[in-house]
C-alpha cells in the first residue's frame, strides 16, 4: 500500500491526470486533461512543472502541508473539482490526515457553502476509494470540544447581536450556535489551520474585506508573517494574480497593525 501510495504521489506531482488514471469515472476526465494539454496548450505542462511543482511547492516559506491546506481550501471555495484529486494526493503525502481534510471540507461548508462541500466530496471520493481511505469523523455531540475564551466570545456575540440581531436574527443565532459554539471548537483541525483554511478561501474568492478577523486569529494561533505572506504567493498561482494583488494591501495593513 505504502509503495503504491508513493507511486501515486510521484504521479501526482506531474499532474492530477496520472495520479488517479486507474480509478473509476473521474479517470477519463483527468487522463483527458493530461492527454489534451499537449494538443491544446502544451506550455501549461511546462509551466506547471517549472513554476509550480519544481519551484513554488519547494519554497521554504510555507510547508507542503500548509500549501496543501491553502490550495485545497482555495479549490473548494471556487468549486474547482477537476484539480482536487491532485491536491488531495499532495495533502495526504504531506501528512494532512483524512480527518483533517474532512474538517476542512466541513469548515468550508459553512464558509463557502454546503454545495461546495458536497461537490468536493464527489471529486475527492475516488481518490479515497483508490487508497482505501475512510475518514473517522465524529459528530460534535460525541467529541470533547475545545475550550474557548468566554469573555472574547461574549464580546463577539454582543457586538454582532447589537449590530445585526434585528436585521437577520437567524444569521446571528446560527453564527453563535453552529459556528462559534460548535464548528470552531472541534478538535479535529488545529485552530491555526482552521483559520488558515478560512483565510485561503477568502483570498481565493477576493473577499478580502473579511480577512482581518481570520488572519489575526490565525497569527494569534501561530501562523507567522512569513507563512501568511507566502499564502498569497500560493493563491496567486492557484486563484490568479489579481486575487493575490487584492490580498496584498490587506495583509500588509494587518501585519503593520500587529506591530503597533
**Distance of alpha carbon 83 from alpha carbon 258, whole angstroms:** 35
**Among 150-158, 174-182, 189-197, 216-224, the segment contacting a second copy (CB under 8 A):** 174-182
Q: Total binding residues for a second copy by CB under 8 A? A: 116
Task: Give the Å distances, CA to CA, from 93 to 55, 89, 158.
Answer: 18, 6, 43
C-alpha triplet 246, 249, 253: angle, nearest 5°: 145
For residues 188 and 135, give the distance between their C-alpha atoms in angstroms, rounded to a whole number: 11
In the range 178-237, which residues lie near a second copy by CB under 8 A?
178-179, 201-202, 205-207, 209-210, 229-230, 232-233, 236-237
Least distance in Å: CB of 220 to a second copy? 19
Q: Which of residues 123-142 bind a second copy (CB under 8 A)?
A: 123-126, 128-129, 133-135, 137-139
Distance CA 120, CA 118 (A): 5
Rounded least distance, CB 158 to a second copy, Å: 16
Contacts of 145 (CB under 8 A, 6+ apart): 182, 185, 186, 187
**8 within 8 A of 127, measured Cβ to Cβ:** no
Smallest gap from Cβ 96 to a second copy, in A, equals: 13
> Is 145 a binder of a second copy (CB under 8 A)?
no
Q: Phi/psi zone of residue 95: left (φ > 0), alpha (ψ -120 to 50 degrees), beta?
A: left
Please pick, from the candidates 36, 152, 155, 187, the single residue that binds a second copy as defined by CB under 8 A.
Answer: 36
The verdict on 245 binding a second copy (CB under 8 A) reads yes
Q: Cβ closer to a second copy: 11 or 93?
A: 11
Q: Among residues 44 and 221, whose Cβ is nearest to a second copy?
A: 44
CB of 21 to a second copy, least distance (A): 10
258 in contact with a second copy (CB under 8 A): no
CB of 222: closest distance to a second copy in angstroms? 19
The rounded radius of gyration (Å) of the Cα atoms in the chain is 19
Amino acid at each position: 500500500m505504502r509503495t503504491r501510495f508513493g507511486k501515486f504521489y510521484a504521479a501526482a506531482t506531474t499532474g492530477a491526470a496520472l495520479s488517479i488514471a486507474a480509478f473509476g469515472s473521474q479517470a477519463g476526465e483527468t487522463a483527458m486533461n493530461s492527454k489534451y494539454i499537449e494538443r491544446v496548450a502544451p506550455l501549461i505542462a511546462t509551466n506547471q512543472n517549472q513554476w509550480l511543482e519544481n519551484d513554488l511547492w519547494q519554497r521554504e516559506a510555507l510547508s507542503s502541508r500548509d500549501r496543501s491546506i491553502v490550495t485545497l481550501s482555495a479549490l473548494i471555495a471556487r468549486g474547482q473539482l477537476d484539480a482536487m484529486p491532485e491536491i488531495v494526493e499532495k495533502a495526504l503525502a504531506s501528512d494532512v490526515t483524512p480527518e483533517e481534510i474532512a474538517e476542512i471540507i466541513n469548515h468550508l461548508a459553512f464558509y463557502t457553502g454546503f454545495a461546495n462541500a458536497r461537490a468536493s466530496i464527489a471529486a475527492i471520493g475516488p481518490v479515497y476509494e483508490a487508497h482505501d481511505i475512510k475518514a473517522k469523523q465524529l459528530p460534535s455531540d460525541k467529541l470533547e470540544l475545545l475550550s474557548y475564551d468566554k469573555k472574547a466570545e461574549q464580546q463577539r456575540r454582543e457586538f454582532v447581536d447589537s449590530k445585526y440581531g434585528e436585521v437577520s436574527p437567524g444569521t446571528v443565532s446560527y453564527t453563535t450556535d453552529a459556528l462559534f459554539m460548535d464548528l470552531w471548537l472541534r478538535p479535529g483541525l488545529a485552530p491555526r489551520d482552521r483559520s488558515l483554511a478560512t483565510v485561503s478561501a477568502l483570498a481565493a474568492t477576493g473577499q478580502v474585506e473579511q480577512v482581518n478577523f481570520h488572519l489575526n486569529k490565525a497569527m494569534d494561533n501561530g501562523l507567522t508573517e512569513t507563512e501568511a505572506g507566502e499564502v498569497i504567493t500560493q493563491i496567486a498561482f492557484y486563484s490568479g494574480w489579481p486575487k493575490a494583488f487584492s490580498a496584498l494591501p490587506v495583509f500588509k495593513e494587518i501585519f503593520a497593525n500587529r506591530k503597533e
